[in-house]
Structure 1
Amino acid sequence: MKRRTLLSASAALGATVSLGVGAAPAGAAPSDQLPSRAEVLAAMARVNDYWIGTHANPGDNGWARATYFSGNMAHYRLTRDARYLNYAVAWAEQNGYNLIGGAATRFADNHCAGQVYLDLYQELGGASKIAVIEDSLTRMVNSTKRDDWWWVDALHMAMPPFARLGALRGNTNYWLAMYQLYHHTKRLQLDTAGRATGLYSEATPLWYRDNGYAIDGPQQFSSNGLPMYWSRGNGWAVAAHAKVLQWIPLSNKRGPEYANTLRSMAAALAPLQRSDGFWNSNLGDPAHFGGPETTGTAFHAYGIAYGIRTGLLDRAAYLPIVARAWNGMLATAVRADGFLGYCQPVGAAPAPTDASQTADYGVGAFLLAGTEIAALTA
């Protein structure tokens, strides 16, 4: 549960990382032109093959590894390389196609594995692959409780399987329940004073990680007195909207809201991109742990690239942003052997990162971004 503990240590770290110290200057500006499709595929293979080669045990079914496998399955669908599918099958079988907490769980993190089970069901069939995730989400649909998702990460973990099951079963009750849960997080989540403010700031428009970081929350400001908009937290939101829009048409009553929120976030993120292609760990303060951070950057690139590909975002305006993000990650975060660095560790707020830090969810985000970027190349 350490992920759910607000990082009180961030205040102490902030005291030593002042405006002039620790704010890493942006590196050389990367190209705003996309590489060739072959080059994108080669970079993806290098990173994914390194991960698989150094992780013979595919791991547990928690949110972090499930996020990796979501990216791995996207990579498989792009390349049809059986190694990636086989690795995912080994992971799913090792975990019995189950969820942490079983079908009774309502905790969004536990539902993230269901995204991959649904991917495998699409590829291989077998109703048992999705029996637990379907049972779990159906229980939530059939209840009236709609305040489960109190942190922004939950949107990425749980919205995609709700959206996909609704499409798979032709049952819009999944979409309705998902929207009600989403709406509570976005608009009705209580702040620390008990007011229904939600986690989405219309003014920015970005998301607070949870009500501790919202206006009047105890962690409202960085050490420099600026707002706390966690990059990866907003990345979770960007990715959630992109994944949901793959299954919910714009003709659906709520489709335009998801699309417009993705558009608004992309517009907010564009001017916050660093000259080296990355986004800071804190989007609200360029000097608060200023420096490259891969996980948020990869998720932002994924969502914006998805928006370009599907016509939600203007290609001329946003393609250079995606290109700089991808080229920046290749120049700074991807080692020659495929190790992916500058991945902020598990947490709930902005934090320092360095080249030695990698993470399964970071690799997953990179692969998701690469899959969408490959579709934009000539």
Structure 2
Amino acid sequence: MPNRIIKILTQVFRPLLTTFILACFPFVSLANGDQQEALPLKEGVMAQMEKVANWQIARTQHMTHVGRARAGSEAYGRWIQGAFYKGLTKLAERSENPFYETWIGYVGKDHNWKLGKVKYFADDHVIAQTNLWYYRRHKNEEALAPVKETFDWLIEQAPDNSLEFVADRNKDKVHNCQWRWCWADALFMAPPALFELSSITGDPKYANYAHKEFKATIDYLQDPKTKLVFRDSRFFNKKGKFEEQVFWSRGMGWVYAGVVHSLESLPVGHKYRSYYEALYLQLSKTIVALQKADGAWPMSLLAGENYKEPETSGTAFFTYGIIWGMNNGLLESEAYLPAAMKGWKVLSSAVHPDGKFGWVQGVNEKPDVVTKDDSQLFGVGAFLLAGSALYDFLGQK
């Protein structure tokens, strides 16, 4: 009788126990000659992604239209939620649980698939990437229409103002640089949507506009010596608290992931692809050299080990971009895998027992402070991007 009971209990609880073990111990040591290289279990990566996404979604419901969405940058359609949903689309593609795609459709429909409230502002364009993803999968014209209308309007405006940073947004195209992509974050937010819109519609005008403006921003903000990208022109001559030149980790992460997402919509042979491949390779080589010994990237990239905190939003974007390059034949695994695995260990260890993703620097424009309990939607989005790339990498093994 005791043996029979034990057998029944084992059958009932084994799936729960397996999920618990994978979530708590997501790495396994695999022998490789005389070396031991810790690679995560594919199932463990998926378990962590779902755990983190579930924690966040449960705390996002009050931001839906029905739930009286928060005002300001946390509202649906704006960049904070937009970056989260970009990551969630990657999970939805890979998870066997249909809930994530259903949730994306529910929230999009709840808001009539509208973009953010400032029509010309790149931060309010990032949600367009989710709209286009949903259109690809469901041929939902309601998701496509606001994206096309917004970018048709923007291209018609043809802003040509200076990229020198002016903080206050207004309708003055002459003095407000944010009509264009004058800050690093914008390269994550808007260009991938324009490239994807060209791919969907077959109209090259969106890709032509995106490339012209993307290249103008890189030409303006990329430091010729370090090859890093300043957050905006205010940082050209600023020094950080360790007297280093200031290159903000998450700002650089926005750029790196923006290049990746642009490449995803530019097929081999496209006239612009070689530019983004070359930029991607240049940034990858630069970024990997700046990783700290603990596997994280410092909030101020040239401050190195002076930053003790394992900030995870920048680290997630870099880990994502590196693994994506290995998956797509642009980076050699032998050279880049160690950095990617060190980065993932940092991200994995930042997941709290309940699924909260910590060590995410809050809304900012420069290196500042971060604690273990700090979390943000955009950080979760970056974590899901990194996890999705790693999941694909492990699936090739």
Q: Give the equivalent residue in structure 2 for 1:3.
A: none
CA distance in 2, matches of 1:248, 1:361: 25
Deviation of 1:183 after TM superposition, in Å, equals 1.6
CA distance in 2, matches of 1:202, 1:256: 20
8 Å contact 2:259–2:280 — kept in the other structure?
yes
Q: State the AA in 2 paired with 1:205.
A: K
Q: Give the equivalent residue in structure 2 for 1:77.
A: 93
Query: Unaligned regions of 5+ residues in structure 1, if any?
Result: 1-29, 188-197
1:348-359 paired onto structure 2 within 5 Å? 348-359=365-376
Q: Give the equivalent residue in structure 1 for 2:364.
A: 347
The structure-2 alpha-carbon separation of the partners of 1:122 and 1:57, relative to structure 1 and needing over 3 Å to count, comes to: farther
Does 1:299 pair with 2:317? yes
Which moves more between the two structures, 255-264 or 30-39? Answer: 30-39
8 Å contact 1:308–1:314 — kept in the other structure?
yes
SS at match of 1:354: coil
8 Å contact 1:58–1:87 — kept in the other structure?
no
Q: Give the equivalent residue in structure 1 for 2:195.
A: 163
* Aligned counterpart for 2:155 among listed residues 132, 135, 141: 141
Q: Give the equivalent residue in structure 1 for 2:44.
A: 39
* Aligned counterpart for 2:351 among listed residues 318, 334, 341: 334
CA distance in 2, matches of 1:127, 1:133: 10
CA distance in 2, matches of 1:87, 1:107: 26
CA distance in 2, matches of 1:250, 1:349: 35
SS at match of 2:252: helix
Instruction: State TM-score, norm by structure 1.
Output: 0.84
- Deviation string 1:277-318 (CA, Å, 9 cap, x unpaired) is 111111011266542101000011111111111111111111
CA distance in 2, matches of 1:56, 1:141: 34
Structure scoring higher RCO (CA < 8 A, sep ≥ 6) equals 1
The structure-2 alpha-carbon separation of the partners of 1:351 and 1:237, relative to structure 1 and needing over 3 Å to count, comes to: same
* Aligned counterpart for 1:53 among listed residues 58, 64, 81: 58
Q: Give the equivalent residue in structure 2 for 1:271.
A: 289
The structure-2 alpha-carbon separation of the partners of 1:101 and 1:50, relative to structure 1 and needing over 3 Å to count, comes to: closer
SS at match of 2:265: coil
The structure-2 alpha-carbon separation of the partners of 1:33 and 1:142, relative to structure 1 and needing over 3 Å to count, comes to: farther
SS at match of 2:190: helix
The structure-2 alpha-carbon separation of the partners of 1:281 and 1:241, relative to structure 1 and needing over 3 Å to count, comes to: same
8 Å contact 1:159–1:244 — kept in the other structure?
yes
Deviation of 1:138 after TM superposition, in Å, equals 1.7
Across the aligned residues of Structure 1 and Structure 2, the Cα RMSD in angstroms comes to 1.7
8 Å contact 1:342–1:356 — kept in the other structure?
yes
CA distance in 2, matches of 1:244, 1:354: 32
Does 1:86 pair with 2:102? yes
Report which of the two structures shows the higher radius of gyration computed on alpha carbons: 2
8 Å contact 2:312–2:346 — kept in the other structure?
no
Does 1:213 pair with 2:235? yes
Q: Give the equivalent residue in structure 1 for 2:172.
A: none
CA distance in 2, matches of 1:56, 1:156: 25
Deviation of 1:98 after TM superposition, in Å, equals 0.7
* Aligned counterpart for 1:256 among listed residues 257, 274, 279: 274
Does 1:375 pair with 2:380? no
Deviation of 1:80 after TM superposition, in Å, equals 4.2
SS at match of 1:206: coil
CA distance in 1, matches of 2:195, 2:160: 16
Deviation of 1:225 after TM superposition, in Å, equals 1.4
Which moves more between the two structures, 160-169 or 281-290? Answer: 281-290
Deviation of 1:146 after TM superposition, in Å, equals 4.5
* Aligned counterpart for 1:318 among listed residues 322, 336, 361: 336
Which moves more between the two structures, 270-279 or 57-66? Answer: 57-66
* Aligned counterpart for 1:201 among listed residues 201, 218, 223: 223
SS at match of 1:34: strand
Deviation of 1:75 after TM superposition, in Å, equals 0.2
8 Å contact 1:108–1:157 — kept in the other structure?
yes
8 Å contact 2:78–2:117 — kept in the other structure?
no
Q: Give the equivalent residue in structure 2 for 1:65.
A: 81
- Deviation string 1:152-192 (CA, Å, 9 cap, x unpaired) is 000000011101001111122111100111122111xxxxx
Instruction: State TM-score, norm by structure 2.
Output: 0.80
Q: Give the equivalent residue in structure 1 for 2:182.
A: 150
Q: State the AA in 1 paired with 2:376.
A: A
CA distance in 1, matches of 2:59, 2:216: 40
Aligned length: 332
Q: Percent identity?
A: 27
Q: State the AA in 2 paired with 1:118.
A: L
Does 1:116 pair with 2:130? yes
Does 1:95 pair with 2:111? yes
The structure-2 alpha-carbon separation of the partners of 1:64 and 1:83, relative to structure 1 and needing over 3 Å to count, comes to: same
Deviation of 1:355 after TM superposition, in Å, equals 0.6
Q: State the AA in 1 paired with 2:226.
A: T
Query: Unaligned regions of 5+ residues in structure 2, if any?
Result: 1-28, 30-35, 65-75, 162-179
Deviation of 1:56 after TM superposition, in Å, equals 2.7
8 Å contact 1:32–1:324 — kept in the other structure?
no
